[in-house]
Every structure is written in C-alpha cells, then in structure tokens.
Amino acid sequence: MAGATTHRLLRMSDRDALARVAAIVDEARASLATAEDEAALEAWRTRVLGRSGALTRVLRGIGSLDAEDRRAVGQAANAAKETLEGALEARRMALEHAALEHHATAPLDVTLPGRPRRPGHLHPVTRTLRDILDIFGRMGFAAIEGPEVELDDYNFGRLRIPEHHPARDMWDTFWIDEEVDGRTPLLLRTHTSPMQIRYLDRHAPPVRIVVPGRCYRYEATDATHEWMMQQVEVLAVDEGVSLADLKGTLQEFARQMFGPERRVLLRNSYFPFVEPGVELAVDCFNCPGDDPRCPVCRGSGWLEIMGAGMVHPEIVSASGYDAERYTGFAAGMGVERIAMLKYGVEDIRTFYANDLRFLRQF
Ligand SMILES: [Zn+2]
C-alpha cells in the first residue's frame, strides 16, 4: 500500500497549503486596515503580493504537489490574490476619499496670510508696438497687416533689389521650399517693406499707413540682433510730400516716444527702395556715448532705430502712378530696439527668453 500512503501524505500537504493561504489572507486584511497612507499601502503590497511576497511564495511552492492538488492550491492562491488586490484598491480609495472629506470640512483659518495673485500684463514689446501705432495713429496713419510668408518679388524684386544684387546681403533670408499658385520663390519676409508694394498696387494716393509685423533674418544673434524681430513700416504717398515731411514726422515720433530730452540724429544712409535714404538714431541710454565696451552702442553713442527715405520714383510709377505728381516717404523701425531704449534693456534676446523674473519688471 505504498501508493495509498503517498496519496494520504500529499493530501495532508494540500490541506496545509490551503490553510496557509487562508492565514495569509486573514493577516493581510488585518494589516491593510491599519495602512494610513500611500507609503504604507505600497509596503503592504510588496510584502503580500510582491515578487517575493507571501502569496507568491505559496504559488511558487505548488510545483512539488501532484496535479490535482496543484490545481486546488493554485486556484485558492489566485483567488486570494484577486481578493487582496481588490482590498488594496478599496483601501486606497477609502483613504483618498477621507482626505478629500477632511479638506472639504477643514475649518477656514482666517488668520492665515493671503496668497497673492499676480495679475498678468502685456509683454514690453507688445506695449511698445501699441505705443508706436498710437503715435502714428494720432498723426493720421492707418494700421494694416501683411503676410509673413512673402514672394521674392515683393520682398526684393519690386523694391529694386533684383537677384544677385549686392544689397541682398543686407538681408540674410530664410527661404521656403514650397510654391503658392505656381508662384515662387517664397521666403519669410525680411522686412515689412513688401507692404509698400502690395498696398500701393491696390490703393491710389493719398496713402498714409503703418504696417506692424514679424520679420525674420537668418543671422547670428547678439545683444542687438535677433533672428525674429517685429517691425513697423511707415508709408506716406501724396502730391507734394517732401523730405521735410519725413523729417518732421520722425522727429515728432521720437519726441512722443522718448520725451523731449532724448536727442535724435538723421544721417545719410542707403536702401535700394528709397532715394535719398536716411537713418534715424537716438543717443545711447546706457553710456555717456563714448564707452567702447558698451554692449548697446559699442562706443558709437548712437543706436539706430530706423531706416527711412523718400520712396523711389520707380516704385511709385511701377504701381501705376505719375511719379512726377506723387511723391512719398517710407520708414521701417525695429520694435524691440525701441523697447530697449524705452525700458533700458541691454540685450534684445531677453525679450524672448520667457524668463518671468525679467518680464515681471515691466
Ligand atoms: Zn552706449
């Protein structure tokens, strides 16, 4: 009867195993009820259900049982595992619920200091842009916008900068490898001047507009250059508009923008689409004007804020108007540069670094 003896022994082992599973479940339920936070829950899970936890050890041991016993113990252990996983989830939810209840019913302590909320405000470049548009608006200029993705023809060609013209080196360009309505090449506009052409093509003089917008240059950045900048284009075309009108308009702008104490300088310059061309500069706010280490003016004492000039007669006639009768002036200014002057900012890159410690100063 050796076989019967073996059988009886295995049955004993089966009962032991089942009893052990039941004991594990009882102990685990009791200890789970005392777990009060997430760390305790996790420790409990590791100890009971983890890779070397009590239940896992039982499941590992069933390999030494015979097939029938293995099934009975395996089923009991797996059922126990599911029960305990459910109990763990229920305990976790109960704790979370209790925490919410406590929060909702906690007495309001009116003696605690308040939590200040910082109100948002406009970015300094946006404020500067609005100031510029306001000043020109009061002088009768309407604000209009144009496309940032522009045709070579408007950005360069019709502004008298044909392909291979050396002046193209003044504007390092981001080219776009697409075409629109079969028209090409496309680029990210390097200045807002293309709107001179677009507007004059559709609107007969008198014209008095300002064009705000983003422009892009493929160039290295430093304290006074960014690869993206905002510009405002100024254009006035009418009968009898002269260089004196340009000078008066820009001086009035500088006076309203920077106050009467800031000095401005008009000096000779060159842009292919104006004749003559001038440059408007404002005296350096950062140094007495002769410090070669000054990061803003580099010792020149002056910061150029816009290029300007009389609209070239060829541009007026190319849009279909009599250039003998209609004359005009144009100017283009960098909004960031004007913001730097107005707020005493030494590095243009800080405007777009999104550092709240910087932005909260304005
Ligand atoms: Zn300086």
128-153, pLDDT tens digit by residue?
Answer: 999 999 999 999 999 999 999 999 99
Q: Count of alpha carbons within 13 Å of 162, Cβ hemisphere only?
A: 0
Q: Would you state the pLDDT for residue 9?
A: 45
Query: What average pLDDT does range 33-51 have in this prediction?
Result: 90
Of the candidates 20, 45, 217, 337, the residue annotated as catalytic is 217
Annotate 150-180 with b (16+ C-beta within 10 A) or e (fewer). bbbebbbebbbbeeeeeebeebebeeeeeee
Q: Are residues 98 and 184 in the same domain?
A: no
Cα separation, 153 vs 160, in Å, equals: 9
Higher pLDDT residue, 115 or 195?
Answer: 195
Average pLDDT, integer, range 34-49: 91
User: Is 73 assigned a catalytic role?
Assistant: no
The yes-or-no verdict on residue 198 having pLDDT over 50 is yes
345 Cα to the center of ligand 1, angstroms: 12
Longest dimension (CA), the chain: 129
What average pLDDT score do residues 108-126 get?
A: 88
The pTM (predicted TM-score) of the whole model is 0.66
Same domain, 97 and 152: no
Q: What is the pLDDT of residue 41?
A: 92
Residue with tokens 């020149």: 300
The burial of 238, by beta-carbon neighbours within 10 Å (0-12 exposed, 13-18 middle, 19 or more buried), is given as middle
For residue range 43-93, what is the model confidence (pLDDT) as tens digits? 999 998 888 888 888 888 777 777 778 888 888 888 999 999 999 999 999
Residue with tokens 């290029």: 307
Distance 280 CA to ligand 1 centre (A): 16
117 inside domain:
no
Residue 2 reports pLDDT greater than 60: no
- Residue 19, pLDDT above cutoff 50: yes
Q: Is residue 160 part of a domain?
A: yes
Mean pLDDT score, 6-29: 73
pLDDT at 8: 43
Do 52 and 139 reside in the same domain of the chain? Answer: no
Rounded distance between C-alpha atoms, residue 18 and residue 26, angstroms: 13
Output 335-338 pairs: Cβ under 8 A, ≥24 positions apart. Answer: 335/125, 335/128, 335/129, 335/132, 335/212, 335/229, 335/230, 335/231, 335/232, 336/125, 336/128, 336/226, 336/229, 336/230, 337/224, 337/303, 337/304, 337/305, 338/128, 338/132, 338/257, 338/305
CA distance 154 to 190: 11
Domain assignment of residue 256, given as a range:
124-359
pLDDT, mean over the chain? 88
Q: 173 and 165 in contact (C-beta within 8 Å)?
A: no
Specify whether 318 is located in the same domain as 242: yes
Q: What is the pLDDT of residue 240?
A: 94
- Whether 258 is in a domain gets the answer yes
CA distance 234 to 211: 7
Provide the pLDDT for residue 5: 43
Q: What percent of the chain has pLDDT over 90?
A: 52
Query: % helix / strand / coil in the chain, to the nearest 5?
Result: 45, 20, 35
Name the most confidently modeled range: 293-297, 318-322, 346-350: 318-322
Last residue of a domain, one of 70, 105, 140: 105
Q: What is the pLDDT of residue 187?
A: 92
Straight-line distance from the first to the last Cα atom of the chain, in angstroms, rounded to the nearest whole number: 98
Mean pLDDT, residues 21-35 taken together = 91
Does the annotation mark 231 as catalytic? yes
Ligand 1 centroid to Cα of residue 287, in Å, is 4
Distance CA(177)–CA(161), nearest Å, equals 21
Number of domains in the chain: 2
Report which DSSP code applies to 152: H
For the ranges 108-112, 194-198, 273-277, which has the lowest average pLDDT?
108-112
- From the candidates 35, 282, 308, 330, which is the catalytic residue? 330
SS3 138: helix
309 shares its domain with 229 = yes
Confidence of residue 307 (pLDDT cuts 50, 70, 90): very high
CATH number, domain containing residue 141 = 3.30.930.10
Active site residue 330: yes
The question of whether 45 is a catalytic residue gets the answer no
Query: Is residue 113 a part of any domain in this protein?
Result: no
